[in-house]
Amino acid sequence: MRAEKSLFLGTHPFERQVWPNGKTFFNQVSEFMILHIDMDAFFAAVEQRDNPELKHRPVVVCGNSPRAVVSTASYEARQFGIHSAMPLFQAKQLCPHLIVVPGHREKYAAASQQIMAIISKFTPLVEPVSIDEAYADVTGCSTLFGPPPVIARQIKQTLFTHLALTCSIGIAPVKFLAKIASDMNKPDGLTHITREQMPTVIQTLPVHQVPGVGKQAMHRMKELNIQTLGDIQRFDVTLLTKKFGKFGRRLYQLCRGLDEDRIQPRAARKSISSETTLETDISDEQTARKILLSLAGRVGRELRKKNRVCESVSIKIKFSDFTQITRTRKTPARTCSTEAIFHQARLLFEQVKLTQKIRLLGVGVSHLQPKHAPVQMALLSLPEDNTTKQWESVDQAMDRIFEKFGREMVTPAVLNPLKNPSPGKGGQMTRTSAKKLIISGKVQGVYFRLETRKAALQAGVDGYVKNRADGSVEAVFQGPTQAVDQMVAWCHQGPPAARVDQVTVETLALQPDTNGFDIRY
């Protein structure tokens, strides 16, 4: 049996009784009790388990580029002061013999499924909150498995026996204290906070350890001279709400040991996001848009893989001074289309006034719903609804190609490195061209120009589109010849609500100053 660190803050309300046949059982005094199971340095622990040469050595899981940040650090690495989200170059300065291991997300996901399955053997009320942590409601499970500390030990031992991984478990009558308890005695720890001990824990708990209290909240805490969670009891709910918004009401409850948050078994993911730290800081907006498109593609594929749609899109920008902002907007309709996600992300990005270079970009979606869940139908269908469905069909076809041949087989032209002329095989340059189109028919109006711009951005071409006085539309496309030809074909068909009668095409000389795709007036 492994040595285990345990911390019991009080006695648990269970009585050992004996059946007439001599077998013992536990009789539970009515008590709501929650476990928070948190795997220890999960990604690094999986790598150390699978590669014996990494055991007892300082290991971090992350990319190995100069701008990479640490995803997970082993406890051997943490002894040098290395922690998650630390830039890799700083980690190497602290520990020159640091071992950097690239991440294997599929392997971690498989281990996570095994972990959740083991926990579910002890209670059906399991709420995964991330790939390496979960809540479990063990209220009423004492007759089968014993009191919560006994259940926690069985979970820890089963995980170690079957997966060779350790975890730390916190036990408390409420979720937020269970989470805090799991962090008190890491790694491989077990901490039990009973209801009788809760007032003392709350009075002495540093407020920065409360889930949800970030940097902005801490500034306001200092203004109010709040150092512990118990200090918040001095203030009424009105003042707390004024200072902290909706979170103020929750703080009012937490400082009194109240937590209305209940276990949501197998809770569906509430959001999906993807972000990337750039090799070098950038200030070029066109480059940023290309990155946003790539991130939107990753998020869109994950949405479609889980058969879900989103109702909100957000972006995250971290600047060269490490300050960061997030922006969110609702989508006009539920979607899982990469193009629709990118369109919303681009609109959010264009609202940001850039005053310094960008270090990191991220795209996320939230308010997720099952794709085929009932939805209130609009009284009038909009033309963009059909366009979105068309793009979703394209996305699904690309997803099948990715699954069969790999992600590098097909990529939007804007993300293709050959878009920018550079020596190719045999030293040849990538072919580029520019063409002007005059499009006649039912084509004038904001709708046609917006859809043309969307298609051009997706294809990765520069240029413009504008109305002409004679009722036609003029469009210029410049970029890789294949992408330009793709736009010419698109204009012959036009978006769903338009009617294209005639298209004339004229080849132009390349314009070196053309950058981006604009709607002109």
Q: Is 497 helix (H, G, I), strand (E, B) or coil?
A: coil
- The percent of residues above 90 in pLDDT, for the chain, comes to 32
Domain match, 440 and 454 both: yes
Count: domains in the chain: 4
Which of 147, 177, 192 delimits the end of a domain?
192
Mean pLDDT of all residues in 23-48? 76
| Dihedral angle, C-alpha 224, 229, 233, 234, nearest 10 ° | -30
The answer to whether 385 is annotated as binding is: no
- Tens-digit pLDDT profile for residues 103-153: 888 889 899 999 999 999 999 899 988 889 999 999 888 888 889 999 999
Per the prediction, the chain carries an average pLDDT of: 81
pLDDT band per the 50, 70, 90 thresholds, residue 10: very low
Q: Which domain holds residue 342?
A: 271-371+389-415
pLDDT(7) > 60? no
Are 168 and 317 in a shared domain?
no
Domain CATH number, residue 493: 3.30.70.100
In this model, does residue 19 exceed pLDDT 50? no
Residue-level pLDDT at 111: 92
Looking at residue 372, its pLDDT comes to 65
| CA-based end-to-end distance of the chain | 77
pLDDT for residue 490? 84
Q: Does the annotation mark 133 as catalytic?
A: yes
Q: CATH no. for residue 290?
A: 3.30.1490.100
CB 212 within 8 A of CB 247: yes
Catalytic residue among 78, 449, 451, 453: 449
Determine the pLDDT at residue 411: 53
Q: What was the pLDDT predicted at 397?
A: 62
399 has binding-site annotation: no
Contacts (Cβ under 8 Å, ≥6 apart) of 105: none
Query: Where residue 238 sits, what CATH number does that domain have?
Result: 1.10.150.20
- Model confidence at 403, pLDDT cuts 50, 70, 90, reads low
456 vs 423: which has the higher pLDDT: 456
Tell me if residue 76 is catalytic: no
Q: How far apart are CA 232 and CA 236, in angstroms?
A: 9
User: Is the domain of 146 the same as that of 186?
Assistant: yes
Q: pLDDT tens digit string along 429-463?
A: 346 788 999 998 888 777 788 888 888 887 788 89
pTM, two decimal places: 0.59
Question: Does residue 12 form part of some domain?
Answer: no
8-11 CB contacts, 8 Å cutoff, 24+ apart:
8/149, 8/191, 8/192, 9/191, 9/192, 9/193, 9/194, 9/197, 9/200, 9/201, 10/192, 10/193, 10/194, 10/196, 10/197, 11/194, 11/196
Residues 6 or more apart whose CB falls under 8 angstroms from that of 116 comprise 126, 128, 134
Give residue-wise pLDDT tens across range 219-263: 889 989 999 999 999 999 899 998 888 888 989 989 988 887 788
Active-site annotation holds for 307: no
- CA 210, distance to chain mean position in Å, is 22
- The active-site residue out of 47, 76, 127, 133 is 133
Burial class (CB in 10 A: 0-12, 13-18, 19+), 371: middle
pLDDT at 191 over 80: yes
Q: Which of 436, 440, 438, 437 is nearest to 499 (CA)?
A: 440
| Residue 406 or 491, more confident | 491
